[in-house]
Structure 1
Amino acid sequence: MQKIITTFLLVFSISLFSQEKVEDDFEGNGTISSWDADATTINASFANPFKTGINTSNTVLRYQDNGGQYANVKFDVPKNFDLSEKHTFSLKIYVPSSGITGNQTNQISLKLQNNKINAPWSTQSEIIKTISLNTWQTVTFDFKNDTYINLDSNSPIPTNRTDFNRVLLQVNGENNTDQVIAFIDDFLYDGTLPESNNNNTDINFDTLVWSDEFDGNGAIDAAKWHHQVIPIIGGTTWANGEIQHYTDRTDNSYQSNGTLKIVAKRENYTFNNVTKNFTSARLNSKYAFTYGKVEIRAKMPFGVGTFPALWMLGQNITETGGYFAATHGTTPWPDCGEIDIIEHWGDNQNFVQSALHNRSSFGGTINKGGRMIANASTEFHTYTLYWDANKMVFSVDDIVHYTYEPSPKNIQNWPYDAPQYLLFNVAMLPNVTSSFTESAMEIDYVRVYQTASLGINDNTLKDKNIKIFPNPVHNQLEIQFANLTDAYQGAIYDLTGKKVHSFNQQASKNSIDVSFLKDGFYVLNIQSGSFSKNFKIIKN
C-alpha cells in the first residue's frame, strides 16, 4: 500500500524532473511512457537490426503498418507544449526497402494534436519530410521555420498555440494501404514542458476530505461503503445486459494486503428466487460531494466479459437498492447525472474510457474519451477526475484523455452542480468466455480532495469559541459564540469562490436561513474585529 506522503514525493519528483523533458532513446532512459499504436503494431524495446552509420544503439522502436489507412504511433504529454521559443522535434528513422510493399511515397510526418477534444485531429498541425530507404537518418520538424499544414485553415500558426499535448508519427502517409516496417530511435523535443500544468484545471483541490486506504483485513469498512445487491430493473436484472448477481459476501469484496478486491466469479448463486451463473460486488460510498478531485489507484481485472467501472451517480437518483435512494431519491437516471471516471472492457484489453451520461447524451453516449494504456490489468494506474463548476477533466497517470466542458450549460447537459457519490463494481457481460473462472479489480486507495478553504478539523474556533450546527444543515444554520458580544459579518461561498449569500448579525442573533441553497458543499466565512475564519458546511 502506498501512503499519501510516498505518493506525494513520487509525483513531486516526477513533476520536477521526468516530465520536463520529452525524449526517448528506447534504452530505458526516456521520459515518454505512453507510446500507443493506432492500426499499427509497435515494440518500443526492439533489438536494433541495423547497427550502422549514425545509430549503433541496442534498442529501437519497431513500427509495423499492415495496411491500415490511418496507421500511426503516438504519445501524450501531461502538460501542453509551448512552441513560442522551442519548436523543433527530431528523431532517427530507418525504413528497409524489404519492409514496404506497393508504390509508396517514402516520408514521415509529425502531427501535433489536442487530446482534450473529441476529434484531436481536427485542429492538428503537421510537417511532412521525405526520407531515404536503407539508411539511418536524422529528421527534424521545426514548427517555426518548416512548411507546416494546419488541417483547419483557421487555426493560428503553431508557435502561437498552447493547446498541443499529443505527438503523432505517421510513416508514408494516410490513405496508404500498403505495408510499412520502420525503425525509430532517439526522439527528442528541443525544449521542456512548462512548469505550470496547463491541463485546464484551475482550482487547487489540495485538501483531503474523504478517503479509504483499504488497510484493513476482511470485510469492507461498513462506515464508508454500502453493498448494493438488489437489481435495479424489476428486482431481477441489472442494466447493460449484465448477467451477474451482486452480493455482500467477502467472497466478492474484501480487503487484504493493503488493497480492496472486487472479485467476479463464475458460480451458481440464487438471490430473490433468481439463479445466475456469476457473482460480483457493487459498492456505494456513504459519502457524497460537489466539486473536487478524485484520485483512484487501481488495477483492472482480466477476461473477455469483465466490465469494471469506477464511477459516480447523483445523490438524488431514484435507484433500487442505492444507499441514498431512500433519503435523497427524487430524480431518475440519466437526469441525476452519471460520471464514469474510468471503464474497462475485457474484450478491449488496456483501453480505458471516461464518459458522462445525462439527458443530452445517454445510451449511445457521445460525451466520452479514452486511450490505450500499458498493463491495465497487471499494474496499478492512477485514475483522476477534476470537477469544478465549469468542466470535468479526466486523466490516467497525470495524462489527460478527455475534458467535458459543454457550453452553454443547462439542466440537460450539466446536472453536475449537486452531490454525487462513488460506485465501484465489476459487471459481467454476456460475451464472457467459457474459460473464465474469476478475476478481481484491485483498488489501492480512493481519495477525494477539495479546496484548502474547506479543510478544518472541527467546527469550533478556540479563541472565540464559535460553534456552528447542525452540519449538514437543511434550513436553519445556528451560529453560537461563547466569547463575543460584538456584531459580526458573514458570507457564504460556493466551491467556485462565488459569493451566494452575505449577512450582518449581532452576536445574540444566531440563526441563518440557508433553505435557498442547493445541496452541496459551501464555505462559511465569519468576521468580527481582527479575526476571520472559514468553516465547511454541507447543505442537504
Structure 2
Amino acid sequence: MKNLLLAILILFGFNANAQQTVEDDFEGNGTISTWFGDDANINAQFNNPYKETINTSNTVLQYEDVGGQYANIRFELDEKFDLSEDYTFSFKIYVPAVTITGSQDNQVSLKLQNGDLNEPWSTQTEIVKDVTLNQWQTVTFNFKDDNYINLNAGSAAPITRTDFNRVVIQVNGENNTDRVTAYIDDFLYDGTIAGSSDDEPVFDNLVWSDEFDGQTGFVTDLDNSKWFKQIYPIIGGNSWANGEIQHYTDRLDNSYVSNGTLKILAKKETYSYNGTSKNYTSARLNSKYAFTYGKVEIRAKMPTGVGTFPALWMLGQNITETGGYWAATKGTTPWPDCGEIDIIEHWGDNQDFVQSALHNRSSFGSTVNKGGRTISNASSEFHVYTLEWTATKMTFSVDGIVHYVYNPENKNAENWPYDAPQYLLLNVAILPNITAGFSESAMEVDYVRVYQESASLSTEDNTIKNQALNVYPNPSNSRVTVNLGNVEGESELVLYSITGKKVHSFSQDIPSETHDISFLKRGVYFLQVASSKNSKVVKLIKN
C-alpha cells in the first residue's frame, strides 16, 4: 500500500503544501505520528477495554499517569494552527474510577503550546473540562467560546494567535503525584493545517536486512558477509570508551544465532586478550553495510542487570577507529567529527528507560542532543526501535511513538556530519558499577532492517494518460459524482486514507454515477479508479 501512496504523491502532484487534517482514530488512519508521554506511559494501539455506548472501536490510546508531577501526553506538528476560523479540538475519553489515587478533581485539560520555545508552556493557553467516570464521553475544547486560561496574562486571545504547534492533554490536573489511567480515542481538530514545506521521503524499499533465522534447533554463527566482530580496543592501551571493563570477543560464547534471534551475551568470566585479563566478556558487531539516509528498524529486547550498557547505534564510515571494520579502507576522520547516531541506549540501573542521542563536534560525551522515554518492559518484551534519517532531520521512535527529533536549524559540519555513509553497531558493554551478583545476560535482536526510497516509479506501470475523469463536488459533505470520462469498461473505485490504508471500494459500470461518502470521517482521501485497461487517482476532500 505504501507503494500506491508513493505513486499517488509522485504522479498526481500531491504537494506537501496542501491542507492536511489533524486527527487520529488509533486504528491506523490518523495523521498524527508524534504522540509522546511526559511522566506517563502511552500506548497508541491499546485494545479498547470498554467497547460500549459511543465507542466500539477496536483500539484506543492508553494514557497512564504513573505519578509524575506534571504528567501529560502530547503531540507536535511542523506547522502552526490558525485558530482564527477553526478553533475546536475534540476527543472521546474514558476514565475508570478504580485507576485513580488521591483526591484530584475529575477533569481533563487541553493545552496549546509553542513547541519551538525553550519553555513551551510559558505562553500556553488551556481549557479545562469535567469528566464523568466509568463512561465514554466526547469532550470538546472551543478556544473561541469556552473559558480559556492563558498562563501569561499578557497573552492575546487564542483565536488571534498563530504560534501554537503543540497539543497537550492532561488528566486530573498537574502539580500532584496521584495516578490515573485514561483511554482516549478519535482525536480531531475541526480545521486543517498547511503541510510541511519539506518533501518528506518515503522509505519503503528494503535494501539490507538480517532476520537472524539461523538453523532451527541449533546455535549458529552470524552471517559473516553481513557482520564483523570487533575485538580490538579503540582507546589507547587495552581499554574501551566510557570506562567499560569488558573484553569483546569473536567467540560463539558471546554472539550467536539461535531460535530466530541474535544473542549478544555479556558474561562474568576471566578472559585474557592482548596481554590483559578482564573479568567480563561480551560482543561488539559492525555491519559490513553502510548507507546515507533511510529508515532503520531493529526489533530487540534489552539485557538486565545494574552495570549493563547495551546499544543499537551507528558511526560514520569514515571514522579512524583502530580495530573497526571500515577503518583500514575508509578511515579519514576521528570521533566525534565522523558523527555518531545512537538509535537506542539502555542502562541496567535505569531499567525502564531508553534513550536516543547524537554525538558530533557541537556536543559530544555528555551530549545535549538526546531524548528518551520510559517503557516498562524493555528487558522482558521485544520493542521496535526506529530511526528515520533524512537530509534535514532525524526522528527516533519506539513502537511507532516518537520520543526525539534532531533537527538543528543552521546545519554545518559541526552539528550535521550526517550527510555521509554510516554503519551499524550492536553491542553490550559492562560498566564499572556492575552488580556483584551479575553472571550473564543477553541482548536479543529479532531483526535489523534498513529501508530507503524506492526508485522512481514508471508512469506506464502505474497509471495512463490524463483522461477526463471528473469527481464533484470536491470537497464534498456526503455524496460525490464520478464521471469516468473515457475510462473504458466496468471500473473499480477504491478509497484510500492519506496514510495509504484502503477504507472503502465500490464498482461503477456507467459513465457517470453518484456515490454516498457520508460514512467517511472528514479529511483527505485518494480515490483510485481502475478499469481492465487503465487507472487514475484523484484527491478527494471530505468535509
**Shared fold (TM-score greater than 0.5)?**
yes
For residues 111-510 of structure 1, the aligned pairs below 5 Å read: 111=111, 121=121, 125-129=125-129, 140-144=139-143, 145-149=145-149, 153=155, 157=159, 163-164=165-166, 167-174=168-175, 180=178, 184=182, 189-190=187-188, 202-217=200-215, 218-453=220-455
Helix, strand or coil: the match of 2:319?
coil
Structure 1 residue identity aligned to 2:201: I
Contact map agreement 1:79 1:194 (CA 8 A) in 2: no
Helix, strand or coil: the match of 1:348?
coil
- CA 1:150–1:453: 2 relative to 1, 3 Å: farther
Helix, strand or coil: the match of 2:415?
coil
Structure 2 residue identity aligned to 1:372: T
- The one-character-per-residue Cα deviations of 1:431-460 (angstroms, maximum 9, x if unpaired) are 2222222111111111112222289xxxxx
* Identical aligned residues as a percent: 55
Q: CA deviation at 1:127?
A: 2.1
Structure 2 residue identity aligned to 1:261: K
Pairwise CA RMSD of aligned residues? 4.7
Q: CA deviation at 1:412?
A: 0.7
- CA 1:93–1:286: 2 relative to 1, 3 Å: closer
Contact map agreement 1:78 1:400 (CA 8 A) in 2: no
Q: CA deviation at 1:311?
A: 0.7
- CA 1:187–1:230: 2 relative to 1, 3 Å: same
Q: CA deviation at 1:270?
A: 1.3
Helix, strand or coil: the match of 1:326?
helix
Helix, strand or coil: the match of 1:453?
coil
Contact map agreement 1:20 1:193 (CA 8 A) in 2: no
Structure 2 unmatched runs, 5+: 4-23, 55-60, 458-543
How many residues align structurally? 417
- CA 1:122–1:447: 2 relative to 1, 3 Å: farther
Structure 1 unmatched runs, 5+: 6-14, 23-30, 49-53, 55-59, 456-540
Contact map agreement 1:263 1:426 (CA 8 A) in 2: yes
Structure 2 residue identity aligned to 1:18: E
Helix, strand or coil: the match of 2:455?
helix
- CA 1:452–1:190: 2 relative to 1, 3 Å: closer
Q: 1:20 aligns with which of 16, 26, 29?
A: 29
Structure 2 residue identity aligned to 1:142: F
- The one-character-per-residue Cα deviations of 1:264-296 (angstroms, maximum 9, x if unpaired) are 111111111212121110001111111122111
Contact map agreement 2:78 2:165 (CA 8 A) in 1: no
Structure 2 residue identity aligned to 1:378: S
* Partner Cα distance (2:330, 2:165) in 1: 41
Q: CA deviation at 1:18?
A: 1.2
- CA 1:374–1:206: 2 relative to 1, 3 Å: same
Structure 2 residue identity aligned to 1:412: E
- CA 1:89–1:125: 2 relative to 1, 3 Å: farther
* Partner Cα distance (2:297, 2:124) in 1: 30
* Partner Cα distance (1:386, 1:319) in 2: 25
- The one-character-per-residue Cα deviations of 1:396-440 (angstroms, maximum 9, x if unpaired) are 222221111112111111111111111111111122222222111
Contact map agreement 2:39 2:72 (CA 8 A) in 1: yes
* Partner Cα distance (2:287, 2:91) in 1: 46
- The one-character-per-residue Cα deviations of 1:125-167 (angstroms, maximum 9, x if unpaired) are 53234679x9989683504343344668589759967844x64
* Partner Cα distance (1:114, 1:340) in 2: 27
Contact map agreement 1:80 1:193 (CA 8 A) in 2: no
* Partner Cα distance (2:199, 2:122) in 1: 23
Structure 2 residue identity aligned to 1:321: G
Helix, strand or coil: the match of 2:323?
coil
Q: CA deviation at 1:340?
A: 0.7
Q: CA deviation at 1:87?
A: 1.2
Q: CA deviation at 1:338?
A: 0.4
Contact map agreement 1:117 1:403 (CA 8 A) in 2: no
Q: CA deviation at 1:297?
A: 1.5
Contact map agreement 2:125 2:150 (CA 8 A) in 1: yes
